[in-house]
Amino acid sequence: MTVLTVLNLKKYFPLQKSFIEQLITRKKLTVKAVDNISFKISEGEVFSLVGESGCGKTTTGRLIVRLEKPDSGRIVFEGQDITFANEKLLRPLRRKMQIIFQDPYASLNPRMTVGDAIAEPLVIHGIMSKKEAKEEALKMLESVGLTPSVTFYKAFPHQLSGGQRQRVVIARAMILKPKFIVADEPVSMIDVSLRASILKLLMKFKNIYNLTMLFITHDLAVARLISNTIAVMYLGKIVEMAPVDELVENPLHPYTKALLSSVPTIVPQMKREKVVLKGDVPSPINPPSGCRLHPRCPLAMGKCVKEEPQLKYVGNGHYVACHLV
Amino acid sequence: MTLLEIRNLKVYYYTRRGVVKAVDDVSISLDRGEMVGLVGESGSGKSTLGLSIIRVLPHQAKVVSGSIVFEGIDLLKLSEKEMRKIRGKEISMVFQDPLTSLDPLQKIGDQLIETVLEHERNLSRKEACEIAKKTLQDVGIPSERMDNYPHQLSGGQRQRVMIALATILKPKLIIADEPTTALDVIVQDRIMDLLASLKKELKVTVLLITHDLALAAEKSDKIAVMYAGHLYEYGASKDIVSKPLHPYTQGLIDSIPDVFVKKEIREIKGHPPDLVNPPKGCRFHPRCPLRMDVCSVKEPPIVNVDGRLVRCWLYAQ
């Protein structure tokens, strides 16, 4: 069953022009953060968006939980079109979709005890009384491994380590028993030896509640571990999308190949030929014509400059946007 | 041939909370022309070790004992004036964040030229300018960029400028402290390739300080693993990755996912210790799955197992 459908989603951010620019040009400058992307996530699936900074993966996540308003396209969650839904309509849906942010230092109120922060969503949504919510929060603290839960309930965020804070953030997201979670780089600020435990905690909840997850990461190794499907983004576009093993073992897009050949690994002998891209990622304000990778792609042809490649189905659940395929 | 030999180094931070034993009795030697990956989590003492070699420790930190012998000279015995001649010229450093380590108000060309003139007083500005241009080209930046300010460059380009600054005087040792942590993977890979090729061309020794075991495994010749101020394992990269001896190294390898390997990950239970009051005996023992009675009583000695150094009771007699 499909939980989330995203269709031709677009989000352009207008740029502030300087005073002189306003005088000399009428043209509006925009950053094409998310440019016409489509995908589906089925129930219980972990769908990863991977890409470098600035590729639009975080914006996509924020659009889906409607922290940002899309410019156009459609977002359908459990059969309900929420693309332009107003706050009043979104409220009940927020119970079902939660987001976990990257920085556990910035996503907790420093003046609120950890326990109150976890209990708050239950009270806000009018699900329980304050007292019941406290009981529930204590239970949740146990299940994210913050024991003794009574002590942790009264702790303030600054008394906890980064890993513990991220557990609190996960607990707060899970207390409403959501169906769908957006996890935006949940482990990139956590120390290496503790990352595994946070990832395992997310997997535990995923299995218990049959959660559907949109996992946003720049780390292909983490994506390989946690996801069923990976979509690779470049400059606001999805360039390749496939089941995880298929994508890693049979990458077809030159950008995916370049990414995979750059990821450090403890088994370098498993690496395929190196694909080297020229230059740096261009500005998303004025992205290249045709295929956005063409100025950097070692295999670019004349067609790539003029015509934008569409995502094509090539079998095995594998989609690629490249003229070569 | 040994270039740098650190013996029984202890570096402590004197804080209001007490004495933090950041580097505690670490001995390591680096050979000429090799890249050594110094791997550890935050707080393991890896950066402090790097800073103490080039003697730019923050004021709360003190070298308590030990020696750092570089080409036969104990750096810890040099005066600040003598050390200035070595810093940059013989040993240089690349930091994680190029934006805070480059002067924002000076053109990158001028920063390079100034570095040359500081150490080579008999050169003219014109000669120094030529050297600067050449070095920039070597790190893959066109010499027209000489007139740019740091903010006009991308993150990867800035890190290239940092590397140009670190190599312009042809040092014998480069300490690179998380040089690619702030960069995306593709840029990271290119910067690492650049470091590797400079290492080959200039026969320079590189100490790569990183939290990323996979990066160290792939790019460096040897790996040194630090935990809680101690050096726990040191040996050839491929041996360490294929057959780790220390339980902490094993734990690290098991805890990191890898894009090319389908595996379950296992976490290392517990947390790194507080270094004001580290555990007695082996500092890893509270988290170690293979701990024995002796581990919580006595510090393990360093043992040589087939050319690999490991500090663990499992291998000591």
pLDDT at B269: 87
Q: Using the beta-carbon criterion (under 8 Å), do B259 and A245 form an inter-chain contact?
A: no
Measured between beta carbons, which residues in chain B are less than 8 angstroms from residue A221? 214, 256-259
Rounded distance between C-alpha atoms, residue B205 and residue A13, angstroms: 46
Q: Which residue of A has its CA nearest to B40?
A: A192
Local structure of A46: helix, strand or coil: strand
Q: Pick out chain B residues at pLDDT < 50.
A: none
- A191 has pLDDT over 90: no
CA distance B252 to A122: 38
Are A9 and A34 in contact, with CB atoms under 8 Å apart?
yes
Helices (H) and strands (E) in chain A, counts: 12, 12
Q: Does the residue B99 lie in any domain?
A: no
> Which two structure tokens, joined as six digits, stand for A242?
């496939």
pLDDT at A213 over 80: yes
Choose the closest CB to A262 out of B157, B188, B258.
Answer: B188
Q: SS3 of A254, please?
A: helix
Question: With an 8 Å Cβ cutoff, are B255 and A220 in contact?
Answer: no
Determine the Cα–Cα distance for residues B155 and B187; give it in Å rounded to an integer: 9
CA of A21 vs chain B CAs: smallest distance (Å): 19
- pLDDT, tens only, A294-313: 999 999 999 999 999 999 99
Question: B228: which 2 tokens?
Answer: 């809680």
| pLDDT tier, A23 (very low <50, low <70, confident <90, very high otherwise) | confident
Q: Tell me which chain B residue has its CA closest to the CA of residue A224.
A: B259
Q: Answer whether residue B121 is part of any domain.
A: no
- pLDDT above 70 as % of chain A: 100
Residue B123 has what pLDDT? Answer: 92
Domains of chain A: 2-96+178-253 (3.40.50.300)
Task: Please give the ipTM for the structure prediction.
Answer: 0.88
Residue A156 burial by Cβ neighbours in a 10 Å radius (0-12, 13-18, 19+) = middle
Band (A22; pLDDT cuts 50, 70, 90): confident
pLDDT score at B183:
85
The reported pTM is 0.91
CATH number of the domain to which B23 belongs = 3.40.50.300
Cβ <8 Å between A53 and B184? yes
- A258-269 pLDDT per residue, tens: 999 999 999 888
Q: Is the Cβ pair B156, A52 closer than 8 Å?
A: no
Average pLDDT estimate for A183-190: 91
SS3 helix, strand, coil % of chain A, rounded to 5?
A: 35, 20, 40
What's the pLDDT score for residue A283? 84
Which member of A193, A224, A270 has the closest CB to residue B255? Answer: A193
Distance of CA A99 to the CA centre of its chain: 9
Where does residue A69 rank: exposed (0-12), middle (13-18), buried (19+ CB within 10 A)? exposed
Q: In this structure, what token pair is assigned to residue B231?
A: 């050096």
The letter for the amino acid at A189 is: M
pLDDT in tens, A227-280: 999 999 999 999 999 999 999 999 999 999 999 999 999 988 888 788 999 888
A280 interaction partners in chain B (CB closer than 8 Å): 154, 156-157, 187
- Residue B229: inside a domain, yes or no? yes
State the total domains in chain B: 1
Query: Chain A closest CA to B43's CA: distance in Å?
Result: 10
pLDDT at A161: 87
**CA torsion B67→B68→B74→B76, rounded to 10°?**
-80
**Whole-angstrom Cα distance, residue A19 to residue A88?**
38
In a domain, B125, yes or no: no
Chain A neighbors of B252, CB-CB under 8 A: 192-193
> Which residue of chain B is at minimal alpha-carbon distance from A201?
B267
Q: Cα separation of B193 and B188, whole Å? A: 9
Q: How confident is the model at residue A194 (pLDDT cuts 50, 70, 90)?
A: confident
Q: What is the DSSP string of chain B?
A: -EEEEEEEEEEEEEETTEEEEEEEEEEEEEETT-EEEEE--TTSSHHHHHHHHHT---TTEEEEEEEEEETTEEGGGS-HHHHHHHBTTTEEEE-S-HHHHS-TTS-HHHHHHHHHHHH-TTS-HHHHHHHHHHHHHHTT--GGGGG--GGGS-HHHHHHHHHHHHHTT--SEEEEESTTTTS-HHHHHHHHHHHHHHHHHHT-EEEEEES-HHHHHHH-SEEEEEETTEEEEEEEHHHHHHS--SHHHHHHHHHS-BTTB-----PPPS-PPPTTSPPSSSTTGGG-TT--GGGGTSPPPEEEETTEEEE-TTT--
| Residue B116: inside a domain | no
Q: What is the pLDDT, as a whole number, of residue A162?
A: 87
pLDDT at res. B238: 92
pLDDT in tens, A97-151: 999 998 888 889 999 999 999 999 999 999 999 999 999 999 999 999 998 999 9
Domain contains B237: yes
Domain carrying residue B60: 2-90+211-311
Q: What is the per-residue pLDDT for B263?
A: 87
Give the chain B residue nearest A191 (alpha carbons): B41
